[in-house]
Amino acid sequence: MSDSVKDMKEFLSKIVTTGSLIPDFKVIATLKYLSIDEVDESVLEALTREGLLVRRITDVAIACSKCGSLSISTKYVCPACSSVSIVKSRLIQHIDCGYVGSEVSFLRSNSGALKCPKCGREVAEERLIVYATFFECLSCHFRTSSPNVIHKCHNCENIFKPADASLRPIYLYELSDKGRELLKQ
Ligand SMILES: [Zn+2]
Ligand SMILES: [Zn+2]
Ligand SMILES: [Zn+2]
């Protein structure tokens, strides 16, 4: 048995023992400040209110409207059936036989090249005309250039639309003149 077959068998045997290989996709977003390790946001708020710090927005993060977490992932969903099983596809034509269709309708050869569903030949990228790029739903085959957007909070599992998102400004803080004066005293 060759080493690569041995490796494959070893890997597959791990899946046999657990029954399946379950993905655990997690987004963990954190907000830190350079140069100070632990920063209490309420202290920053207070110092800004006192006029000792001035702040300006440098970025805006999407936050969960339920728990405030920044650990948010974004998904595209089908506007017709709300499925998240969508792929990016293209409307392409095989120049040699004239077939026009979605890239999803093309087969893939073992080498990964596209195979024309009409003439069965492998299609090199140069033998294609690309008419459009779009998203195609794998459930209902609806095509769109602008899928709906949903967010998922990886802290509390809340799934929400952009209209229900909280937007959290990310500030850069600087000492104000008043703050500098205070340090001189
Ligand atoms: Zn759909
Ligand atoms: Zn063809
Ligand atoms: Zn949440």
Distance 159 CA to ligand 3 centre (A): 8
Q: Kindly state whether residues 52 and 83 are assigned to the same domain.
A: no
Q: Quick one: which ligand is closest to 123's CA?
A: 2
Instruction: Give me the number of domains the chain comprises.
Output: 2
Q: Kindly state whether residues 132 and 162 are assigned to the same domain.
A: no
Q: Kindly state whether residues 87 and 137 are assigned to the same domain.
A: yes
Q: Quick one: which ligand is closest to 114's CA?
A: 2
Distance 152 CA to ligand 1 centre (A): 19
- The amino acid occupying position 143 is R
- Specify the DSSP element, H or E, that contains 180: helix 177-184
Q: CB pairs under 8 A, 24+ apart, for 18-25?
A: 25/73
Phi-psi region of 148 (alpha: psi -120 to 50; beta: other; left: phi over 0): beta
Q: Quick one: which ligand is closest to 156's CA?
A: 3
Q: Which residue range(s) make up the domain with 63?
A: 23-68+157-174
Residue listed under structure tokens 């728990």: 67
In a domain, 124, yes or no: yes
Task: Give the C-alpha separation, 64 to 66, whole Å.
Answer: 5
In a domain, 5, yes or no: no
Q: Kindly state whether residues 163 and 140 are assigned to the same domain.
A: no
* For residues 120-136, average pLDDT: 94
Distance 100 CA to ligand 3 centre (A): 44
CA distances from 167 to 34, 40, 130 (A): 22, 20, 38
Question: Using one digit for the tens of pLDDT, what is the confidence trace for 14-33?
Answer: 898 888 999 999 999 999 99
Q: Quick one: which ligand is closest to 159's CA?
A: 3
Residue positions counted in the chain: 185
* For residues 153-162, average pLDDT: 96
Q: Quick one: which ligand is closest to 141's CA?
A: 1
pTM of the shown model: 0.78
Question: Using one digit for the tens of pLDDT, what is the confidence trace for 32-91?
Answer: 999 898 899 999 999 999 999 999 999 999 999 999 999 999 999 999 999 999 999 999
In a domain, 1, yes or no: no
Q: What share of the chain is helix, strand, coil (3-state, %, to 5)?
A: 25, 35, 40
Q: Kindly state whether residues 62 and 110 are assigned to the same domain.
A: no
Distance 48 CA to ligand 3 centre (A): 27
Q: What's the confidence (pLDDT) of residue 1?
A: 66
Distance 110 CA to ligand 2 centre (A): 17
Distance 144 CA to ligand 1 centre (A): 10
Q: Quick one: which ligand is closest to 136's CA?
A: 1
Distance 157 CA to ligand 3 centre (A): 6
